[in-house]
Amino acid sequence: MNKLFLMLFIFSASTLFSQVQDIKNSPFNNAPENVRDTKAFQRAKYFYEQRMYPNNFIPKDAYEKAYRQKEELKNSSGYAMTGPFDSWTNIGPTTGFLFGWENISSRITTVQYDPNDGNTIYLGAANGGIWKSTDGGTVWVPKSDFENSLSSGSIAIDPSNSNIIYYGTGEATYSKVSYYGRGLMKSTNGGDTWTNISSGLPSSSYTSRLVIRPNNSGHLLAAMGNDGIYRSTNAGVSWTQLDTGRCDDVVFSPTGDTAYIVGSGTGYRVSVNGGATFVANGSLQLDSNRSHIAICKAYPQYLYVSTYDGVNTIRIYLSTDHGLTFNQTATGQNFNAGQAWYDFYMYLNPFDPYYAYVGSIDIWRTTDGLSFTNVSNSYGGGNVHPDQHNLAFHPTDPDQMLCVNDGGIMKSTNRGLSWINLNTNLTLTQFYRITSDPSNGNHILGGTQDNGTQRTLGTLNWTAAFAGDGGEVCFHAQDNDYILGETQLNGVRRSTDGGITWVSATSGLYGFSAWVGPILSHPTAAGIFYTARSSVFRSTNWGANWVSISSGISGIIREMAISKTDPNIMYASVLDTMYRSTNAGVLYSSASSGLPGGIITSIYVHPDSSQVAFATISGFGTGHVYKTTNTGASWIDISGNLPDSPANDVFIFDRGNGTYLYYAATDIGVFVTKNYGGSWTELAGGLPNTVAMHLDYNASANKLRIGTHGRGVWEITPQPLVSAAPCEDFTTTTFPPASFDVEFSGTNFWTRQNPSAYGAGTASAKFDFYSAVQGTVQSLVSNEFIPTGANAYLTFDESYAPYTSPSYGPDTLVVEASSNGGVSYSVLATLIGRNDGTGELNTSPPNVNSYSPANNEWRPKIYSLPAGINKIRLKAKSGYGNNLYLDNICVQTLAVPVSNFLCDIPQGFYRATPSSNVIRDTIKMYLKRTDFPNVTVDSASMFIQDYGCESATFSKALNGNYHLVFKHRNSIETWTNAGNPNYTRGSAFSYDLISNNTVVYGNNQIIVDNTYNYFGNYGGDIDQNGFVDLSDVTAVNNDANVFATGYIVSDVTGNDLTDLEDLLITYNNSSAFVQKEAPPGAAPLPAPVVNDSKNIVFQNNAQRQKYEAGLKYQSDHPEESIMEYVPDRGPLPTQEYLDKIKEERKEKSKNINNNTKRGLR
């Protein structure tokens, strides 16, 4: 039965094993005691039972699907943090240090020398990918951080071209509890780039050994563990399964004609046709567990086979006749093989058949084939870390070899008698938990797999605080000198001096524990720590002694949490069951309603609410992040679009102002939600594709850290704490500035340039439509800011000129706002730049050269923002036109605009008799800048009648001094002097141009009532060209001749009839040469000028090509001629006729009874 156990221990039909309660049909329950007691067994059990629960196995395509979901999410949403410094940074251990074993990296599973260069070495870490050294192991470089799997099985290098490397993913221990790989990867350039190959291979793989056929490098064999033996005859492009039985090892003879395989499923088999077919050889009976085979390259008649019985025995067999027959040797040798299902290999020195090596916990060597000697003595003072995984021999030096194990890589230059540490700059540590000192952000500790609890004070090189398999580490919240840590199975240790010295702290603890037991600090009470085994324990003296305090929990407690705002609220979990206490951990009750039945991997209580808590769930096929808002009474799934991958930890980041980010650490990376679980995005780039195990945030350093299970610790500065809304004038030379980022791919066309709005600043943001090919989309995006309240606006100044040729464009600026931190946006406006001058983006005429604005070629924009907006995006879509400039981009709260009291009348619309009155009509008003009067800031209109006064509201203008311009449909445009008004948003102003002509620029009005000294705007500017001239007189005369009626522009007096009275006003003003009086610079920008190509100044050849392409388009698409419209005018009135009319009007005025007049005020 014992021999059969580890056949069952492949998790194809198993659930977790518990030391408190038996799980039905669990093969863990049948494990021999000596196996169950090993650290490797307990470690694997803890790590993988949560990932296979409740299916009793990990589905073969589960990781592949999760990885695809991650890639799809990244393709659609990108990273949440995209700034130039928003990427993960490694902070070690590079390397760690573990007492007598000196420098350590972590578990390395495979290693190979370059067959043509003994200084070049490739290694594969358990979950840290491929690393390469070209100087014999002094310096290492990661080569596969972002490939689809970092779980390493085997490496093979083509001896005919050592730039060709095959990397079989998936670590193939016999337990089937290591990480699945994702097929085979191949590099043809020494590991710089890789191609994933899966044709014919299992979708999720364990690779035990890859070998290349000598003398025919296109042929390969792959021992794929439980999936059998595979063969490729086209250099790895595709594969064929030769046998389905478990295959652990494969070797070729030096000629490549003969191949040998061993495995509990295949047995011992031999191929004499280069691996095309294999035939069973009954001369060797393998044990039911793991087996390995080795051949001597120089003397291929010598082969060794080693086989493990699944309990504690490794048997060695030797063949001296090319594998035809075998004899057992080293009978009775104790290889300390209790966990050979995990750490086991067999190798022969390729130059000397008498030197053979067996790896188990230690390295065993024979020099005569009869007996083996321990040459590593990992627990006897040797410097080689225990738990051996692979061996490699130098291609030309028979004395030099490499070994890899749970601590990293070592080199021997004397066939294994002594060993040199090569763990220099490798960063491969497999962390379970990390934490940092609240009072010193550089002080970090973390519990690791088989390499103790490592510690740093800010250097990349870490050192062990204490040995063993590490676990939880916890600083006390009230005194950071008191720290608790643990070895495996809750072996609590204690430091009272900030981590310098440690002592055991298990007094009072009893019962079974999880492999990593929870440890908590009371948030406010000095001296109180909590830990848990089968019950919750409390210490009131900084961990020196413990007392069991809990009831109501059944099982081994894996996770705990305590509320910072109400420490009476505590949580504890056993497998998939959540428990809650409301009396400081004394009495617990079940609180699992809504949870999915997966193993709970972390619990986190909201920092500002004891009623809100979060839990992460491992396994596959369920939600992975859950939230309660009622202290555990019920839980809801907030996983949203989070990939279906085991989740290991959750952290709630308080950004201030009542806003939070939720971070989730999963087996495939770190994700964040900005909308409380509505949707998730991968946090940032730079993190290798390994297991994200445990999150830690240090407030004093403002660093979010992730302890990975294979690539050490990484950190990132979280998106800035929620800050004030941006108001960016691009004064600082850094671009993008601190408050903004640029979203782009390829070439970035957003830059900082020195034209500034109205010449008042130093620079602006430029988008180079001139160079960006059509269809290019890039955005200027603000950082997330405090959500807007009422009366918030986005304001900015922009300048844009279209390109001369109509064949280009339109260029577009889409103004967008988000209320969920950029997860989604709503469109505020779409501004289009058009060649015909009608575009909302246009501020300047078309330009053939790369546009740079003059000071008066800017225009303000303002958009009302709904409450809750916390991010804006200005998205440029190129039509390959001309340049856009943005400046003074501000999100700001403005006063609510109020109505202003304005009085103005057109000359002919005033009636003095029988009483003062004004004919109803509309006047438009404009606020114009005083420095650049051609720039309109805001507009409004009023409906005049009765006394000529009405209220009007300017909704867009900001505080400042302006000109106020009055425009009527057939009157001269009338301006106020500069500073009239001095506008303050939210405060009313009043201007009476009827009775106060002094504010009018140039006093450009006519008296319409001498009695009351009332003024009006000159009438008769029919064509609105700023002059009352012959063309206006002609237009009025033409309509008068036909008795035109209605609301027509020639009706200068507003009586719906064009007659002699209208003609008289127009004629008089024409005779007086009446024209618009406006300040310098008030004229609109000139209309587009047709450039003569001979006179165009091209700055580069690209401009010339662009212009010539536009000419060709115009030639291919000729436009219709635009005919000027010339009205059919009647004969002009004679001077005699006009003089007669004037005399009649003067006589009429003299007879008016002034007593019937009344004033307008």
For residue 656, is it within any domain?
A: no
430: in domain: no
User: What DSSP line would sit under 57-124, residue for residue?
Assistant: S--TTHHHHHHHHHHHHHHHH-BS--STT-B-EE---SSEE-GGG-EE---EEEEEEETTEEEEEEEE
Minimum mean pLDDT range among 37-41, 660-664, 765-769, 1036-1040: 37-41
Pairing type for strands 990-992 and 899-903 reads parallel
For residues 310 and 224, membership in a common domain is answered with: yes
Q: Which of 862, 893, 924 is the last residue of a domain?
A: 893
In this prediction, residues 219-237 reach a mean pLDDT of 96
pLDDT score at 175: 55
Residues 881 and 906 in one domain: no
φ/ψ of 441, rounded to 5, equals -65, -15
Contact 633, 586 (CB under 8 A): no
CATH code for the domain of 753: 2.60.120.200
Residues 930 and 827 in one domain: no
Domain closes at, from 381, 396, 421: 421
Number of domains the chain contains:
3
Is residue 922, in this structure, part of any structural domain at all?
yes
CA 569 to chain centre: 34
Give the pLDDT of residue 836: 84
Which runs of consecutive H residues, i.e. helices, occur in 818-934?
Answer: none
What confidence tier does 174 reach under pLDDT thresholds 50, 70, 90?
low
pLDDT band per the 50, 70, 90 thresholds, residue 795: very high
Output the pLDDT for position 1096: 52
Nearest-CA neighbor of 717 among 624, 783, 765, 813?
783
Q: How confident is the model at residue 1142 (pLDDT cuts 50, 70, 90)?
A: very low
Q: At what angle do helices 1060-1071 and 1135-1150 cross, to 10 degrees?
A: 100
Considering the domain architecture, whether residues 837 and 942 belong to the same structural domain is answered as no
d(CA 380, CA 417): 14
**The pLDDT value given to residue 911:** 92
Q: What is the pLDDT of residues 671-723, one digit of tens each?
A: 999 889 999 999 999 999 999 999 999 999 999 999 999 999 999 999 777 67
Residue 53 covered by a domain: no
- Give the model's confidence band at 566: pLDDT under 50 very low, under 70 low, under 90 confident, else very high: very high
Whether the predicted pLDDT of 9 surpasses 70 = no
**Residues 845 and 951 both lie in one domain:** no
Share above pLDDT 70 across residues of the chain, in percent, rounded to a whole number: 90
Reported as a single tens digit per residue, the pLDDT across 625-645 is: 999 999 999 999 999 999 999
Residues 857-886, mean pLDDT to the nearest whole number: 96
The answer to whether residues 966 and 974 touch, using CB atoms and an 8 Å cutoff, is yes
* Shared domain check, 978 and 841: no
**Residue 183 belongs to a domain with what CATH number?**
2.130.10.10
Pairing between β-strand 314-319 and β-strand 588-590 as defined by DSSP bridges = unpaired
Q: CB–CB of 877/774 below 8 Å?
A: no
Residue 850 and residue 909 share a domain: no
**Residue 474, in any domain of the structure:** no
* Confidence band for 823, pLDDT divided at 50, 70 and 90: confident
Q: Is residue 173 part of a domain?
A: yes
Question: What pLDDT shows up at residue 1094?
Answer: 32
- Residue 1097 confidence class, pLDDT cut points 50, 70, 90: low
- Percent of the chain residues past pLDDT 90, beyond the cut: 79
Q: Is the pLDDT of residue 17 over 90?
A: no
Is residue 712 in a domain? no
Q: Can you tell me the distance from the alpha carbon of 865 to that of 1155, in angstroms, rounded to the nearest whole number?
A: 55
Lowest mean pLDDT among 26-30, 268-272, 331-335, 811-815: 26-30
Cα(165)–Cα(302) distance, integer angstroms: 27
CA nearest to 508, candidates 540, 538, 546? 546
**1121 pLDDT exceeds 80?**
no
Residue 1139 has what pLDDT?
55
**Alpha-carbon dihedral 1019, 1023, 1027, 1033, rounded to 10 degrees:** -70
Which residues span the domain enclosing 271?
A: 94-421
Q: Say if residue 452's pLDDT is above 80.
A: yes
Q: What is the pLDDT of residues 906-953, one digit of tens each?
A: 999 999 888 888 999 999 999 999 999 999 999 999 999 888 899 999
Rg of the chain in Å (alpha carbons): 42
Question: pLDDT category, 1099, cuts 50, 70, 90?
Answer: low
Q: What is the pLDDT of residues 900-912, one digit of tens each?
A: 999 999 999 999 8
DSSP 46: H
Q: Are 62 and 44 in contact (CB under 8 A)?
A: no
What pLDDT sits at residue 173? 75
Instruction: Indicate the residue among 893, 922, 938 that finishes a domain.
Output: 893
3-state helix vs strand vs coil in the chain, percent to 5: 10, 35, 55
The answer, yes or no, to whether residue 1151 has pLDDT greater than 80, is: no
**Residue 517: per-residue pLDDT:** 97
Mean pLDDT taken over the chain: 90
- Reference 916, options 1152, 704, 1084; nearest CA is 1152
Chain centroid to Cα 826, Å, comes to 20
In this predicted structure, the answer to whether residue 422 has a pLDDT above a threshold of 50 is: yes
pLDDT of residue 805: 83
485 contacts 473 by C-beta, under 8 angstroms: yes
Residue 1059 belongs to domain with CATH number: 2.60.40.4130
- Pair 817, 919 in one domain: no
- What is the predicted pLDDT for the residue at 497? 98
**H/E element, 1113:** helix 1101-1116
Whether the CB-CB separation of 762 and 776 falls below 8 Å is answered with no
Give yes or no for residue 1004 having a pLDDT over 50. yes
Verify that 932 and 787 share a domain, yes or no.
no
At 374-417, the pLDDT tens digits run 999 999 999 999 999 999 999 999 999 999 999 999 999 999 99
This model's pTM is above 0.95: no
Q: Over 80: is that where the pLDDT of 616 sits?
A: yes
Specify if 4 maps to a domain.
no
882 and 907 part of one domain: no
Which amino acid is present at 517?
G
Same-domain status, 910 and 953: yes
Q: Do 875 and 941 fall into the same domain?
A: no
User: Mean of the pLDDT values across residues 425-446?
Assistant: 98
Average pLDDT, stretch 152-169?
98
In the structure encoding, which two tokens stand for residue 285, read together?
Answer: 């009976």
* pLDDT-based confidence at residue 775 (cuts at 50, 70, 90): very high
pLDDT at residue 724 is higher than 60: yes
Beta strands (DSSP E) in 233-290 are 240-243, 249-252, 259-262, 269-271, 279-280
Q: Given a cut of 80, is residue 831 above it in pLDDT? A: yes
Average pLDDT over residues 1005-1017: 94
Q: How far is CA 1116 from the centre of its chain?
A: 47
pLDDT for 320-340, tens place per residue?
999 999 999 999 999 999 899
